[in-house]
Chain A
Amino acid sequence: MCSWTDGRTLVVQLVPRGASMDDHDPASGCLHEKKKLPAFTWEVRANNRSYHMQFKKKFAFCLTKKKYAGNAIKTAKYNILTFLPLNLYEQFHRMANVYFVFVILLQTIPEISTLPWYTLLFPLSCLLTIRALRDLIDDIGRHQSDRNINSRPCEILSGKSFRWQKWCDICVGDIVRLRKESFVPADMLLLCSSEPSSLCYVETADIDGETNLKFRQALPVTHRELTSEGSVAAFDGRVTCEEPNSRMHSFTGTLQWRGETYALDSERILLRGCKLRNTDFCYGLVIYAGFDSKIMRNCGKIKRKKTKLDRMMDQLVIIIFLVLLAMSLCLAIASGFWAKTFQEKHTYLSALYKHTAPAKQAFFSFWGFAILLSIIIPMSMYITFEFIYLVNSFFINWDLEMYYAVKDIPAKARSTSLNDQLGQIEYIFSDKTGTLTQNIMSFKKCCINGTVYGLGTGRENKQPSGSGMTWSHRGEKMSYSNDVTLLEAARRDSDPLLREFLRLLALCHTIMVEERGGQLVYQAASPDEEALVLAARDLGYVFLSRTQDTITISELGVKRTYKVLAMLDFNSDRKRMSVLVRDPQGTIRLYTKGADTVILARLRSRGPSETFTERALDCFAEETLRTLCLASKVVSEAEYCEWSRRHQEASILLQDRAWQLDSLYEEMEQNLELLGVTAIEDKLQDGVPETIQLLKLGNIKVWVLTGDKQETAMNIGYACKLLTDDMEILEEKEVSEILEAHWVRNSRSSSRKAPGSGRLSQQHPGTSCHKKRALVVSGDFLDKILHTGEVLMKEEGWLWQWLPCRGATDSQEQGSLVEKAFVDLATSCQAVICCRVTPKQKALIVQLVKKHKKATTLAIGDGANDVNMIKTADIGVGISGLEGMQAVQCSDYALAQFSYLQRLLLVHGRWAYLRICKFLRYFFYKTFAGLMAQVWFAFHSGFTAQPLYEGWFLALYNVFYTAHPVLSVGLLEQDVSAKKSLEFPELYAIGQQDELFNYRIFGVTLLHGVSTSLASFYIAFWAFKDCVGSKVVGDYESFSVTVATSALLSVLVEIILDIKHWTVLSFLMVTASLLLFCLFSYLTQSIDAFRIAPAIFRFPDASQNALTDPYILLVVLLSLVVNTVPSLTVRSYHAITGRHSIQQQICSKARREPEPSVELRTHVHRGSFRRRSSYAFSHQEGYAGLITRGDSLRTKGTCATGGLHPQGTAPPSPSCHGPSA
């Protein structure tokens, strides 16, 4: 079949064989190559370990490491020796920790030491220890997972034979034997495979998430020669190639062997993480191992994601810090003035000031106050915060409702610091295949000659859910008998149309078949096709075998061989594929299957059955089944001869070949006779439509970003209720129109205001406000828009009119304006579907929304093609339990099912957000309420930075006295139960709008805290000023104890009011903090403690003396009530007016609820009359060429060098066209 060659192929054949594979488009590729030729400095010698060992490379200072990395991977950060120093080093990267160490150091200077040394050291060391422990546990987990991966078994050639060893034993240059279903352990050059033409099928789900099989092909020379173990062991080829890099889909190198040089490209490479499929075994030469492999290069360092609240908290801490510094400064200045008075007038003090000038005193006081007030900076907040996050993550892991029993997979919070963000998600970016769908196609219904078969719900047709790879293992036993009538009709064989229909299913496809162990195994490039062929098989039309130009099927037990005259392959423009066959009787028939729109337009006649079929199509569309129309016609011998001749001419054309072929195909596919319609269900995962519905109600927008085709994506969009019939679908054309209009408007107004400031949705009230809109765009279109706004500049050219008047506008700015406009448009839509997007674009879209909308985003996906997006989004969720674990590895949360997302967000997320917000609010409150009194005291102690509280109280206040109730809020608080949370997804909106913690609430909290501290302080102040109790005579210790007790109790009562969900644990926690206060007060103020260290335990019996005085107790009670009443009043007011209560919202919503749902239903009904094509097919072109060349067939074709067209730009033809060069 090599006879059809063209001039270009001949030219290329001058270079070594296979070299032409490098560039698929040499016209531009060659130039490109010359411009930047990668340095081929990576040399790999097969079976020569010692060669690779000798190379070293510098990596830091004069340290070197091996140039060729081993295959062991290490993601763990520490080992036993480095743990302590590295961890401490990392911890001191946090500004807060450094600050506290600084303060602790300051404290050692006696002149300014205002607090005892233990006050800050104690909490800080607690903090460091706990964090170190957590890091340790994390790292142990990483060590384990590393060990698991490194100890996977594989066969490595050692000496003359293969031995089972571990992955980590693999070195560069080793030859590895891979068996079916095993993972590729390192990037390898495929040397030889068990399959014909040295093809090797791999599944790259781990790498790009695509589950269809890909072909890799060894060099013919190695395939020919390396057939036995002995020959492999003797292989001494040398590969010279690029240094390790992260470009997944490119590889350039050469193989030198036996004096000849062969070019290598990515088609010869098996990447680490791929899975070998349908190939018994293959040999590979390891080129990049371990961290040098492409996939590991792609796994960049995982950036620590920070939540909104986390960032805000950091800002708040900085604000507090600055305020404290300012406060210290003011107090210090005051202290300077007072120092003068003290020095001059207060004789009992003047000696203390003998050597200190007021300025010096002010300087000391500044630092003194800085130390004193540093306690207000919530150091222990971070640690409590992290603990709360941790436990909340455990709650996610523990949740039985998110446990997938079928595969025994619980939900997993891999990142423990993002829980609150789960309650603030505004946009969800979802992958389609494997995330929304199970990637299982099942033949559901069909309509043949006006009769609809398969009316059953089809639910009984449960397939082993889970693995999307089942098609190649399915035995013949399995039956698609979801409709008995169809089976019977097929058996009866009375309807010629039905016969043709089934024949078509068995003939018109590109599936390859193999007989193994008495079973037919189909290798399909798309699951749709496989579903159809399997359906035909079950109905008695078994596809048995194919050669380059024949197809053999068994029709109800009768074996018939059809001669394939031409395969008119599928592509996304044609939306159909045809096969031209000569049946055993000699009749030539054309069988076509394709999109309804395409097929219906090419029918010979329209009769009642066609009309009925159209109605069936509508029905299928409504059920969101993926439909294909089947049609056929008889072609006369003369017609075929003429056509065939022209076809041959066209296929050797140099120019416009594709166009010519297309028009020829078009010519052939006319005057068809409609056979029927098939309907395939792309099975959604359980509960997907419900989940999406719920998320939509929770004001979360779901965008589907898929690498799949538009039709498929839209079909799924309808199936999962993301798109509804009453939506206006904006496609690329409309989008560019709207953007243009927007641009014009903006440019006109640019003289007055900055362009882009107007909101897009507002500018098109007609289209946005009254109608639900959905946006469907493709990756190419996005590319155009997002790069430099090309879509506007190039396509229209009108932009240039506006440029001069706008002066010097750099294109970057324009680009971002277009971006902004696009994002505005997209976010104003109810649903967005982006199809045909690359992994990079997925990430880009997420990035855009983050950038322009400042929104919190979540990305969910299952494959490695989602990794970028998962990493970019604020929260990445991986679907676990599928073959590819890449997504899970990079995700923050791993779920087994998409539908668990509702619980993750609406229950766990919302609770976590609520908890963290309440926690933050309370934490700031208690810090201010408890500790601000220090400042007020300064006004009455001559600004001398005398601490009001005893050192131990300060040291333990945050850690022991108030930590427990805070924890109880952070761990157990629930406003409404999980069930209610799911029933009322509207409650989720509070998180999106940052309602529970923002600067306003922080301000209120601050004021509340300050007023509490003022009240506690001044009530005690007036009670002590020149007054006496029955025992207490206004002394400092009693005063200190009184203020401390009042403040602490006020703070505790506040949290008692704040807790809305009292469990036994919360009760215990609140009690515990009171008990701890008593206990530690007793211990630190005991006489024994004083005797041991009078300088450390300075307050012997102070509490005991003070708090047994009724006068003090009355004071404490008074300040407690004064502090509580305002807060209680506000709460009561809200409770009575019901303004802020969630219950109220629920109630009002519950009343509103019934009406819109009714309305919705009527919408659907009205809309369903509109005709909508539900055609969808996941097939890609290019396979027909492979078949007709015969590469993959057992009977080896004569043309072995033919490769695949990865991009499929060239027309498929029945010829063996060489590489399209």
Chain B
Amino acid sequence: KPDNTAFKQQRLPAWQPILTAGTVLPAFFVIGLIFIPIGIGIFVTSNNIREYESNVFMYYGLSNFYQNHRRYVKSRDDSQLNGDNSSLLNPSKECEPYRTNEDKPIAPCGAIANSMFNDTLELYRIDNDTRTPITLIKKGIAWWTDKNVKFRNPTGDGNNLTALFQGTTKPVNWPKPVYMLDSELDNNGFINEDFIVWMRTAALPTFRKLYRLIERKNNLQPTLQAGKYSLEITYNYPVYSFDGRKRMILSTISWMGGKNPFLGIAYITVGSICFFLGVVLLIIHHKYGNRNTSADIPN
């Protein structure tokens, strides 16, 4: 004899929500009423972002650069970048054809590393014909996880990176080996933040990457005061062949990111559409309303 349980007899107590005008129409208005203010908020925030206040972020942007190309994306060895010594000297096959050069393993191997952005940008403030360099902070631009987990220098005796990278060669396009990217030990080798930022591949062919930070000095003055600035670019990185463009962007970051009109407008639009739909449905409801007031049959 079957058990007489609610589940087996399919008599579990249930809530049967029935969409009615009374429940649905407010939802539309509520969505509209929430989204429009959010959109306005975002829009205003985005518009109020100034390039010179608080901490200023300096980005370089590239366009028409396919960092999301499958074979490009694959062309790296995460073990090597994670400091695995065997991978250092024997990089993964994925790195081909940037795996070895002249029979020496490349460190870091692969096409991504090989094509690392290597222009240098320097910002000067021109004040009465004197050029004061703006301090550009190069640390703190990478994600904590990347800097501390994903990327690690090979381990060995001592901290001498030159020795640790012994037996490897630099990527073909690089002017200098990986252990000479920076003078500071905690920003050199695989944990060089410029390198890490580059290695975090972009999702789309038009992208920007964080290059430097300009820290706010004191609270009274904007970080970048009004005036003339000059940007000095050491042009190393060719983009002409693929119709690429290079850009430098200065921006501060609000709670919702950098300057970006899209999100605000999108929110306002969606909110308005909801509101509009609510009105349309309300009209329909008034037309049909009387007909199905008794439609809810209790089960």
Contacts and interface: CB of A to CB of B under 8 A. Distances in A.
Contacts of A1118: 263, 266-267, 270
A974 B295 contact: no
Given A1062-B16, A1098-B78, A1147-B295, A1028 B10 contact: no
Nearest to A1105: B143
11 contacts: A941-B70, A1022-B262, A1022-B266, A1023-B262, A1027-B262, A1028-B260, A1029-B256, A1030-B255, A1129-B277, A1135-B24, A1147-B295
Contacts of B263: 1023, 1111, 1114-1115, 1118
A167 interface: no
Contacts of B73: 946, 1036
A944 B71 contact: yes
B238 interface: yes
B168 interface: no
B17 A1062 contact: yes
A1101 B143 contact: yes
Contacts of A348: 65, 72, 111, 114-115
B295 A1138 contact: yes
Nearest to A1039: B203
Given A1021-B204, A1036-B203, A1087-B149, A1138 B291 contact: yes
Nearest to A1129: B277
7 nearest interchain CB pairs?
A: A1039-B203, A348-B115, A1029-B257, A1135-B19, A944-B70, A946-B70, A398-B8
Interface in B244-263: 251, 253-258, 260, 262-263
Contacts of A1111: 256-257, 260, 263
A1138 B238 contact: no
Of the listed residues A1021, A1025, A1105, the one surrounded by the most CB atoms of chain B closer than 10 A to its CB is A1025
Interface string A297-312: 0000000000000000
Contacts of B262: 1022-1023, 1027
B149 A1090 contact: yes
Contacts of A1037: 200
Interface residues of A, number: 99
Contact of B297 (A346, A398, A1019, A1146): A1146
B257 A941 contact: no
Given A1025-B206, A1100-B149, A1115-B263, A114 B70 contact: yes
A1125 B114 contact: no
Interface string A337-349: 0000110011111
B253 A1028 contact: yes
Interface in B38-93: 38, 42, 57, 59, 61, 63, 65-73, 75, 78-79, 82, 92-93
A1041 to B, nearest CB: 10
B29 interface: no
A1129 B273 CA distance: 11
A107 to B, nearest CB: 14
B277 A1027 contact: no
Contact of B18 (A1100, A1128, A1135): A1135
B200 A1105 contact: no
Nearest to B148: A1087
Contacts of B15: 1062-1063
Contact of A1133 (B57, B61, B149, B284): B284
Interface stretch (B180-188, B207-215, B222-230): B207-215
A403 B243 contact: no
Given A110-B93, A1029-B257, A1136-B285, A351 B2 contact: no
Nearest to A1064: B12
A844 B38 CA distance: 69
B20 interface: yes
Interface in A139-178: none
Contacts of A972: 10, 12, 14
Nearest to A945: B70
B66 A368 contact: no
A1183 B97 CA distance: 97
Contacts of B267: 1114, 1118
Contact of A1063 (B4, B13, B253): B13
Given A347-B238, A1114-B263, A1030 B281 contact: no
B129 interface: no
Contacts of A114: 70
A980 B149 CA distance: 61
B35 interface: yes
A400 B9 contact: yes
A1090 B82 CA distance: 10
Given A1095-B79, A1111-B260, 8 more contacts: A110-B93, A349-B69, A399-B10, A942-B69, A977-B299, A1125-B277, A1132-B281, A1136-B289
A47 B206 CA distance: 93
A384 to B, nearest CB: 19
A603 to B, nearest CB: 56
A1147 B10 CA distance: 24
Contact of A1125 (B75, B202, B270): B270
B145 A399 contact: no
Given A348-B111, A1144-B295, A1125 B273 contact: yes
A1141 B295 contact: yes
B10 A397 contact: no
Contacts of A1128: 24, 27-28
B100 to A, nearest CB: 13
B284 A1136 contact: yes
A60 interface: no
Contact of A1039 (B24, B57, B204): B204
Contacts of B242: 341, 345-347
A1136 B282 CA distance: 9
Given A352-B72, A1064-B12, A410 B66 contact: no
B258 A349 contact: no
A1094 interface: yes
Contacts of B296: 1143
Contacts of A1110: 255-257
Nearest to A395: B10
Interface string A1127-1168: 011011111111001011011000000000000000000000
Given A1030-B255, A1087-B149, A1095-B78, A349 B208 contact: no
Given A1028-B258, A1135-B19, A405 B1 contact: yes
B209 A1033 contact: yes
Interface in A1103-1129: 1104-1105, 1109-1111, 1114-1115, 1118, 1121-1122, 1125, 1128-1129
B150 interface: yes
Nearest to A1066: B14
A221 interface: no
Nearest to B63: A1026
Interface in B162-221: 197, 200-210
